[in-house]
Structure 1
């Protein structure tokens, strides 16, 4: 279902399919403050998904790198919600970045000297 070079087609298909599955699973609509929370989440997914597919098209291993940054962004924003970030979470994030970096092939565009 992925169309190479068409991130603006791939992103909505990915988000819509996940949203439909979640809606069928839950069988209820959001109520009260969950409406705006759902909208914020959708803006996040709607903005992240095209970037994920653009990275997948342009960078070797780019999708893995972009997807791997999401937990670190959440962790960085945790203090804004009054949540303390623990050292084990930081260590796990560093290990994950190192692991993804080890899997990404060297850039073919690099030149010597």
Structure 2
């Protein structure tokens, strides 16, 4: 379980990856659509997506010639259970998590 938590928290540590998760809360997206709002190469976005996939936070599948990304709804369960052990955290509510990410990512001076 430690490796899973390490991968989850490492993936969440990067603001670009958190922004990608926020985008995927809405719906599945093609990799090219995920990359569109970011000022970085498709290769750089692919590296971020690989980290999110390895952490189990998203899944990727090829549909025809297009690679799609999908948020894995239970991906944060282990992290939530771990945080509950401290008695200070509620179970992760994805709607609340989305609002948190949107707030964090819309801070003035932050660029995702």
User: Normalising TM by the smaller chain, what interval?
Assistant: under 0.3
Q: Larger % of strand: which?
A: 2
Q: Larger % of helix: which?
A: 1
Larger RCO, structure (CA 8 Å, separation 6 or more): 2
TM-score by length of 2: 0.26
